[in-house]
Structure 1
Amino acid sequence: MEDTFRWSLVTAIAPIAWGTNYFVTHEYLPAGHPLYGAVFRALPAGLLLLALARRLPRGIWWWRSLLLGICNMGAFFALIYLASQLLPVSLASTIMSAAPFTMALFAWGLLAERPTAQVLIGATAGIAGVVLLLGAASTSVDVRGVAASAAALTMSSCGYVLAKKWGRATEGPLATTSWQLIAGGLVLIPCAVVVEGAPPHLDGPAVAGFAYVGLVATALAFTAWFAGLRRLPAASVGLIGLLNPVTGVLLGLLVSGEVLTLRQVGGLALVLLGITLSQVRVNPPARLARVRQLEVTE
């Protein structure tokens, strides 16, 4: 239980950092350049982690890194940016909050991790909490934005579960994360040149913003995320990811000087309850019986 709690705290670094990324991107990074923005986010962070890990891919890890880099980094970053431009934040975040369910389904199919009733109840409570926190979108819905969000959700959920499956090899999360970031960034470069032309001019605040996004919200966050995936069930990690919209809401309230409404307090409580439920381990009846039998014999 103590080990689970410790790795849950490590994993939580990722969604909390991602939640702050919304504010930094909106306030300091250049608008209208999602592909270059994704390249500037992924590539420097990947090169930094590679310098620390000092390990290049070998054998099958070349194509694995390419596939995971597209699913978890390159295409994911671009799709999320597109969705944020076409949809209200509340709707985009609500769609992405379904990650605990989609990750549980992929983990069931690829890892034979059958979701327990406890995890499913926690996921339902967590998603309901996100809906209460963010509220329903009152503007018209752009189908393209919904499609981009759904594609990002599906690709990342599959990619995360595959990373968990393949991460059982000797390569650690630092090395495999660096390979994915570099692959995702390199794939996006020709797309950015063709679609967006010359890279945007970066002023001082933009450089500082990209430094934060690259170091904290990408290098540190994804290393913590994949480390958690190696040690925790995929569905539980997906629920921890709900701290992402929670952080975004709380940071927005802090910056704007507003206070939490009663509805938002209830939503926050539901999210935390859902995450807690997913982390508590209940011993199966058979195991409990064996433990009690041993206690009696002793």
Structure 2
Amino acid sequence: MIGLTFSWGLNSVAAKLANVGYNPVLVTVLRSAIAGVLVFGWCRWRGIALFQRDGTLLPGIVAGMLFGGEFLLIFHSLDFTSVARNTLMVNTMPFWVLLGAHFLLGEHMSVRKWLGLLLAFAGVALVFSDKLSLTGPHALWGDVMGLGAGILWAATTLVIKSTRLAHAGAEKLLLYQLAVSAVLIAPLLVLAGPLTRDLSALATGALLFQAIFVVAFTYVVWFWVMRRYPAAGLSSFAFLTPVFAVLLGGMLLGEPLSIRIFLALGLIAAGLVLVNRSARGRQ
């Protein structure tokens, strides 16, 4: 789990590096297409059934649309804001899921969860109030897109939890998101402007790292781990992804990291810990 969360934190750095050489829309399409082909090949090799009628087609399309929108916002956000700020905004996802499940699925929140939610949103407020780590005049716009990506990520989770997708195989669920997002976003390429920027081996390597290693490999490893270890125990590692992303953004990209960013990171991480400890208590 430490290796996985480190990889997901490094993925945020790779996304920003890929944006240097490629249009964010093209990154979104290529990332999903390459990973989709690899995951489909994995399923064929392992004999995993994908095409049986199980009532997941419509919710699968919806989940794929949300998935594609999420990563469009993430990659465009990184054109304006830093990896640290983007990651903190995107990783508010668990708290939007809490709110959605409370109001839409009837899953009532405990006092501890509400406290975790308040801590997380205090962290978000700190990010928006922090002027020292701004990367430019449009950084706040990038932060808003990152926050929107976290909301779409949460919406995807709620669609999965409330439909037949909850009973679908992990590989099929991932393929819905990859295939639908690639197909639906591809037409936007004609409106995206220049598809390449400052092409380099580093930008191409960053794109391939995301598609081949992060999506096609670590996601499958994640599903493997989820089947073999208690979910409550795994959830305690959730706060490590934004920690690694913030630190790696500063170390590898030289991004400005102010004391408010670290305070925001601490508040969001504390919120995640409270929420996850609440989940373990129920189990």
Give me the TM-score of the superposition, normalised by structure 1. 0.70
Cα distance in 1 for partners of 2:102, 2:217 equals 28
Cα distance in 2 for partners of 1:163, 1:22 equals 24
Deviations 1:77-112 (A, max 9, x none): 111222222345555445434323211122224433
Matched, 1:52 2:46: no
Aligned residue identity for 1:48: L
Cα distance 1:197–1:274, how it changes in 2: closer, same or farther (>3 A)?
A: closer
Partner of 2:170: 173
CA RMSD of aligned residues (A): 4.0
Matched, 1:248 2:245: yes
What is the percentage of aligned positions where both structures have the same residue? 21
Query: Following TM superposition, by how much is the alpha carbon of 1:212 offset from its aligned partner in structure 2, in angstroms?
Result: 1.1
Matched, 1:215 2:221: no
Query: Following TM superposition, by how much is the alpha carbon of 1:117 offset from its aligned partner in structure 2, in angstroms?
Result: 1.6
Cα distance in 1 for partners of 2:147, 2:254 equals 33
Query: Following TM superposition, by how much is the alpha carbon of 1:16 offset from its aligned partner in structure 2, in angstroms?
Result: 4.0
Q: Secondary structure at the match of 1:176?
A: helix
Cα distance 1:208–1:267, how it changes in 2: closer, same or farther (>3 A)?
A: same
8 Å contact from structure 1 (residues 18, 244) kept in 2:
yes
Partner of 1:71: 66
Matched, 1:282 2:276: no
Cα distance in 1 for partners of 2:188, 2:202 equals 26
Q: Give unmatched runs, 5+ long, in structure 1.
A: 1-8, 285-298
Partner of 2:130: 136
Q: Secondary structure at the match of 1:168?
A: helix
Matched, 1:162 2:159: yes
Q: 2:77 aligns with which of 79, 83, 90?
A: 83
Query: Following TM superposition, by how much is the alpha carbon of 1:274 offset from its aligned partner in structure 2, in angstroms?
Result: 3.0
Q: Secondary structure at the match of 1:112?
A: coil
Query: Following TM superposition, by how much is the alpha carbon of 1:141 offset from its aligned partner in structure 2, in angstroms?
Result: 5.4
Partner of 1:101: 95
Larger radius of gyration: 1
Aligned residue identity for 1:64: P
Cα distance in 2 for partners of 1:244, 1:135 equals 22
Query: Following TM superposition, by how much is the alpha carbon of 1:250 offset from its aligned partner in structure 2, in angstroms?
Result: 1.4
Cα distance in 2 for partners of 1:27, 1:112 equals 41
Matched, 1:123 2:117: yes
Give me the TM-score of the superposition, normalised by structure 2. 0.73
Show the 5 A alignment for 1:145-160: 145=142, 148-160=145-157
Number of equivalent positions: 268
8 Å contact from structure 1 (residues 177, 226) kept in 2:
no
Query: Following TM superposition, by how much is the alpha carbon of 1:271 offset from its aligned partner in structure 2, in angstroms?
Result: 4.3
Cα distance 1:204–1:158, how it changes in 2: closer, same or farther (>3 A)?
A: same
Q: Secondary structure at the match of 1:282?
A: helix
Cα distance in 1 for partners of 2:189, 2:85 equals 27
8 Å contact from structure 2 (residues 242, 265) kept in 1:
no
Show the 5 A alignment for 1:9-28: 9=1, 13=4, 16-28=6-18
Show the 5 A alignment for 1:236-275: 242-255=239-252, 269-275=266-272
8 Å contact from structure 1 (residues 45, 219) kept in 2:
yes
Cα distance 1:262–1:191, how it changes in 2: closer, same or farther (>3 A)?
A: closer
Cα distance in 2 for partners of 1:52, 1:44 equals 13
Cα distance in 1 for partners of 2:130, 2:100 equals 28
8 Å contact from structure 2 (residues 21, 196) kept in 1:
no
